[in-house]
Structure 1
Amino acid sequence: MSAPTTTATGPTTATGKRRVAFASYVDDNYLPGFLTLLRSLVLNNPRTCPDFVVLYDDLGPAAVSAIRRLYPRIVLRRVDPARYDDYVKGDQGSYLVRKAYFVLDVFRMSDYDTVIALDTDMVVLGDLGELLELREGIGAVEQFFPEGGAGRLNSGLLVVNREYLTGEFAARLDEVGRSGDYDVEKHDQGVLNAVLDGDFVRLDSRFNFVKRRLEGDLPVPDDVVVLHFTGRHKPWNGGEVGYERAEEVWRRYDLDDRELYRAFCALPGDKHPELVVHYGTRLVEECGADSATLLATGTALHSMGRYDEAVDVLLRVRDPKGVLDPRHNLALGRALMAVSRYDEAEARLLLATQDPAVAASAFGLLAECAWIRGDRQHQVAYARAGLDADPTDRKSGLLLRRARAEERRTAPGADPAEQLAHVAFYMDDQGNAGDKVLPESVRLVFDADASPRRWHSVHAHRLFDEPLLEEVNARRGLVIGGGGLFIPDTSPNGNSRWQWNVPDETLERITVPVVVFAVGYNVFDGQSYAHRRFVESLRLLVRGSVFFGLRNHGSIERVRALLPADLAERVVYQPCPTTVARNLVAGWQEPVERAETVLLNCAYDRSGLRFGHDYGHFLKEMADAVTALRERADVRYAAHIASDEKFVFDLRREHGISLPVVPMYDMSNAEIWAAYTDCRLVVGMRGHAGMIPFGCGTPIISLISHPKLAYFLDDIGRPDWGVSIHDRRLGAVLTERATAVLDDHRAMVDDVAKCQQKLWTITQNNLERLREPLGLAL
């Protein structure tokens, strides 16, 4: 049978990121097996933590509690037994005659894109990463005993992908089950084999290695990934003679909860932070934990943005002999900074500087802490100490350069009454090219002079204290804009929980007009941002603003949902100024002829949230696209930050393709605009690798790995200018769309100009509203 037709277009998330889950049907009889399956899964796949859907019909509270203690992302889904009552069945005295069919509910899980279904009499012995990368069809291992003919699958392990997770395919299973036109003694497996008729992806037998292969007490081969205890006799019920070695392997994972927690925490190497937190916190709460476990748990909590909890866990360590691991003081100092407990953070970080192994990192954080508090003297001193400890320490070098750069942002003798104060994320040298362009673009909307003579810079990440409040209130207004400031983790603080480090009491004492201009809500798919402190700060900011504009309708929808009705209506659309750059930059010159160049950009911050399990697929598809596009144009790589160059390294290593790099992080704003103007097409994954070239009048195709790219394309009515990095046909789709742009380039440039004019009209209308409050001469 060929893959079923379906109207489903794939994932419903804004990025198209695949939603992956494990699934099992569980009842009380098979609960011991399922708990052992879970333990073996996490101990042998510690870097993986998708949802695990538990299909059930009669599990009691104690069973549910036991399951939840073993895994953090359990999704309970009740089976409707009546759905299978009219299936034609075999031996009516068999326990399996009814419940074996319930696992077919896997095919009704349309809210996922890939589901790995596992029988509860399995134990996982190796890495399942290969299965997580399977993107099409149904993957399974062929039956060991080919009763009824060759080419039939064993349904104990199934990898089910999007085209089979539909109502249509489930209805086909129901039809065959009710007709009885299948091997009724094989239950669910018989139904599947009848419907598929051999049309499935063959997996190696090591992914479903049935016990019968070990008859005569043979040892379990080293390469087995999933061992399946088929047959009537299960290890938790006494087992079966002749399979003692196999059952001994199963018993290695028949652990009590604390044994599992300790075993997981003791595993070497990287581990998924949700799993670390799940097991580490239980050890802490139930029986105490050693300092290494507390450190790992606190660090994982910090990486997940749970900063208050990270502090609480890290403070549990007692150090009566003064021999605490210096990494602990380093982690605690960083966590205390994230909740704005700066004095305590400084004390911990000073302790960490006593150990040469972490001294440079500790001094770098001390310099950052001093900078946040406006203490330039200590900022410079700590940064120099960090460089003395390690001349290559990046943070120390950055904080030393930042001190010098901020001096240049101050205009001697400027009249405060003629200035606007500007809260933004001011990017450091060699920082993100998009974030360098942003503040100047915002300023040019209000004033042709974007220099310090007309603008007073306030870095968003600095603590907005009394001196800064006085500086702002001495100006004629305050503009907040220049980045995705509504994001929880770039520079966390406990005062607002978004990027502007402003306490409520200080925010309320701003006396000049406050304008929030083209700010973005930059949460990734898979990130949550519902901290009460953020919501309280947000509401206060909206209430105190004369204008509150967000840069896309996706952000508007998310922010309005956090506000009461009277405040929600005040949130309006203000496109990012980078998208109308050629209307802002004085003396802008349209190119007579653009270079035969395609610029490509990829992003690697928060890679797990961007790529999920699809990075290998993405790289291969991009290699195909680059190879094809080179037939038409000079393909170059536009790196917004140095870490973006990972794509170039990986592409060369994995596929033998080299790309010349355009280091935009080393360019001035004028040079960035020029580079994005003098090309025919930009293919970009970063938001501003789309918005900046669009603002320069250049056609774009967005590689969507973050919702904000899809939001922007929806706003301009051109969703077809984007392609998900998870698209199965990414390479072909990208090549087709890029070729269309190059074939009809003049029409595409005209279309960009048409879309841009709408954004410029909206911007001009918003500026008209601000003429009086800010005293603008428009």
Structure 2
Amino acid sequence: MNIKHAVLEQQSFGRIKYVEKKPIHIAFGVDANFIRPMGVAMTSIIDNNPNQSLIFHVFANSIETVDVERLKILADREEVFIHLYLINQDVFKSLQTTWNYTVATYNRFIVAKLLYPSVERVIYMDADMVCTGNLGELVKMNFEDNIAMVVHDQGKFVASHMKTLDLKHDRYFNAGMLYIDLKAWNENQISEQAIELLRQRKFFLLDQDALNILLDGRAKFIDRRWNEICNMEKKNSKVSEEAVLVHFASRNKPWHTWCIHPEKELFIRYSEASLWKDVPFFSQPRSYKEMKMMGAAMLHQGNYKEALSWYWRYWKVRKKEKNSI
């Protein structure tokens, strides 16, 4: 992978709070649509790790000027370091995308190549997460000759999906949190192999599937509190008291106006404490699936006229898309 073509521009701002402490490096891969939730995630990490030196690495396909300014203010105000890398989207243009998985999901493949050897280990996080505890315990864990630390994925699909991918160790992880040994990752050419796999095959969960194949038997599975999934499409999905990193991994996100899950309050709490508190929640559904969820939310709120309107739009768009196949 040619890093010179992957990174178009780099900016750095802020300062380290405790120069005598070994910093915790945290990386995100985003586009402009996920800068706000990433900012909330960063706010939650800072809030729950007051005695840690933090360095954030933001790999962004696109970002608005106002958000760059917010990141600068956050870095100076909270005494953290933020490196912002503007990514050339053409690097991954040949890889598969879906309506809810954009090309930005592949930015994680740049992280290890760019940061090593100046950084030995990094916590890669999806932007749809919040931190509710201290990361100190995680970064002290022993890799035990593994390339990354991961957490089991949840859901009924996992058992059959492992067979589809032909995983030899009967374990499948969610790639929303990866604690990576960058030296081992690069020596085993995980990024290069993953990109090649994705060019050769179509995967249901894209880069997550490719990484599960490549790290089969070479990843250390740790407790679910380091990537506890809260599925906001299921009413009974709750965040445990033990959770340190909460992952809103479903299509329904807490910053959607149609999200009515009670656990969205966790995101709102950190959102209101962030520099993104005045940014409106995402209000317009983009797909027929989101239109259906909007209709359900309006129905739940007793707004029957709006519910009927969104269900009607859902039906029309769904019918149009089905007929075009």
Question: Which TM-score band (shorter chain)?
Answer: 0.5 to 0.7
Distance (whole Å) between structure 2 residues aligned to residue 19 and residue 124 of structure 1:
17
Structure 1 stretch 118-127 or stretch 197-206: which is displaced more?
A: 197-206
Cα deviation per residue 1:677-709 (whole Å; 9 max; x = unaligned)?
Answer: xxxxxxxxxxxxxxxxxxxxxxxxxxxxxxxxx
Superposition TM-score, scaled by structure 1 size: 0.29
- Specify the alignment match of 1:248 in structure 2: 265
1:178 pairs with 199, 209, 220, which one? 199
- Specify the alignment match of 2:247 in structure 1: 228
Q: Report sequence identity in percent.
A: 23
Distance (whole Å) between structure 2 residues aligned to residue 176 and residue 251 of structure 1:
38
Distance (whole Å) between structure 1 residues aligned to residue 91 and residue 275 of structure 2:
39
SS in 2 for 1:37: helix
CA contact (8 A) 2:232 2:253 kept: no
Distance (whole Å) between structure 1 residues aligned to residue 66 and residue 275 of structure 2:
17
Counterparts of 1:538-549 in structure 2 under 5 Å?
none
1:156 pairs with 165, 173, 176, which one? 176
1:69 CA drift (Å): 2.0
Cα deviation per residue 1:244-286 (whole Å; 9 max; x = unaligned)?
Answer: 1x111111111255899xxxxxxxxxxxxxxxxxxxxxxxxxx
Distance (whole Å) between structure 2 residues aligned to residue 175 and residue 238 of structure 1:
38
1:23 CA drift (Å): 0.4
Distance (whole Å) between structure 2 residues aligned to residue 107 and residue 258 of structure 1:
29
CA contact (8 A) 1:140 1:203 kept: yes
- Specify the alignment match of 2:110 in structure 1: 105
Counterparts of 1:191-270 in structure 2 under 5 Å?
191-212=210-231, 215-238=234-257, 240-241=259-260, 243-244=261-262, 246-257=263-274
Uncovered stretches (5+) of structure 1, i.e. residues with no partner: 1-16, 261-778
Counterparts of 1:234-633 in structure 2 under 5 Å?
234-238=253-257, 240-241=259-260, 243-244=261-262, 246-257=263-274
How many residues matched? 237
Q: 1:19 to 1:170 in 2, by over 3 A?
A: farther
Uncovered stretches (5+) of structure 2, i.e. residues with no partner: 1-20, 163-169, 278-325
- Specify the alignment match of 1:371 in structure 2: none
SS in 2 for 1:58: coil
Q: 1:257 to 1:95 in 2, by over 3 A?
A: closer
SS in 2 for 1:35: helix
Residue 75 (1) aligns with residue 94 (2): no
1:210 CA drift (Å): 0.6
- Name the aligned partner's letter for residue 226 of structure 1: L
- Specify the alignment match of 2:154 in structure 1: 144
CA contact (8 A) 1:115 1:161 kept: yes
1:128 pairs with 106, 112, 135, which one? 135
- Specify the alignment match of 2:292 in structure 1: none
1 or 2, which has the higher helix percentage?
1
Superposition TM-score, scaled by structure 2 size: 0.66
Cα deviation per residue 1:470-517 (whole Å; 9 max; x = unaligned)?
Answer: xxxxxxxxxxxxxxxxxxxxxxxxxxxxxxxxxxxxxxxxxxxxxxxx
- Name the aligned partner's letter for residue 148 of structure 1: H
**CA RMSD in angstroms, aligned pairs only:** 2.6
Distance (whole Å) between structure 2 residues aligned to residue 51 and residue 163 of structure 1:
19
1:95 CA drift (Å): 4.1
Distance (whole Å) between structure 1 residues aligned to residue 150 and residue 215 of structure 2:
12
Cα deviation per residue 1:523-576 (whole Å; 9 max; x = unaligned)?
Answer: xxxxxxxxxxxxxxxxxxxxxxxxxxxxxxxxxxxxxxxxxxxxxxxxxxxxxx
Distance (whole Å) between structure 2 residues aligned to residue 258 and residue 61 of structure 1:
14
Distance (whole Å) between structure 1 residues aligned to residue 231 and residue 29 of structure 2:
23
Q: 1:191 to 1:79 in 2, by over 3 A?
A: farther
- Specify the alignment match of 2:13 in structure 1: none
1:98 CA drift (Å): 2.2
CA contact (8 A) 1:45 1:127 kept: yes
1:106 CA drift (Å): 2.0
- Specify the alignment match of 1:21 in structure 2: 25
Q: 1:59 to 1:248 in 2, by over 3 A?
A: same
1:240 CA drift (Å): 2.9
Q: 1:135 to 1:55 in 2, by over 3 A?
A: farther
SS in 1 for 2:57: strand
Q: 1:78 to 1:228 in 2, by over 3 A?
A: same
Distance (whole Å) between structure 2 residues aligned to residue 46 and residue 82 of structure 1:
38
Q: 1:42 to 1:163 in 2, by over 3 A?
A: same
Distance (whole Å) between structure 1 residues aligned to residue 100 and residue 44 of structure 2:
26
Distance (whole Å) between structure 2 residues aligned to residue 235 and residue 67 of structure 1:
21
Distance (whole Å) between structure 2 residues aligned to residue 203 and residue 156 of structure 1:
14
Q: 1:68 to 1:203 in 2, by over 3 A?
A: farther
2:58 pairs with 49, 54, 69, which one? 54
Q: 1:236 to 1:46 in 2, by over 3 A?
A: same
CA contact (8 A) 1:53 1:76 kept: yes
- Name the aligned partner's letter for residue 179 of structure 2: V
Higher relative contact order (CA 8 A, sep 6+): 2
1:99 CA drift (Å): 2.4
Distance (whole Å) between structure 1 residues aligned to residue 67 and residue 270 of structure 2:
18
SS in 1 for 2:124: strand
Distance (whole Å) between structure 2 residues aligned to residue 131 and residue 157 of structure 1:
11
- Specify the alignment match of 1:117 in structure 2: 124
SS in 2 for 1:158: strand
CA contact (8 A) 2:132 2:243 kept: yes
- Specify the alignment match of 2:323 in structure 1: none
CA contact (8 A) 2:112 2:182 kept: no
1:65 CA drift (Å): 1.1
1:209 CA drift (Å): 0.7
Counterparts of 1:6-17 in structure 2 under 5 Å?
none
2:186 pairs with 160, 166, 186, which one? 166
1:25 CA drift (Å): 1.2
- Name the aligned partner's letter for residue 234 of structure 1: K
Distance (whole Å) between structure 1 residues aligned to residue 97 and residue 67 of structure 2:
30
SS in 2 for 1:126: coil
2:35 pairs with 31, 37, 49, which one? 31
1:74 CA drift (Å): 0.3
Structure 1 stretch 52-61 or stretch 163-172: which is displaced more?
A: 163-172
CA contact (8 A) 1:124 1:227 kept: yes
Distance (whole Å) between structure 2 residues aligned to residue 37 and residue 165 of structure 1:
25
Residue 84 (1) aligns with residue 92 (2): yes
Distance (whole Å) between structure 2 residues aligned to residue 131 and residue 239 of structure 1:
34
> Which one has a bigger Cα radius of gyration?
1
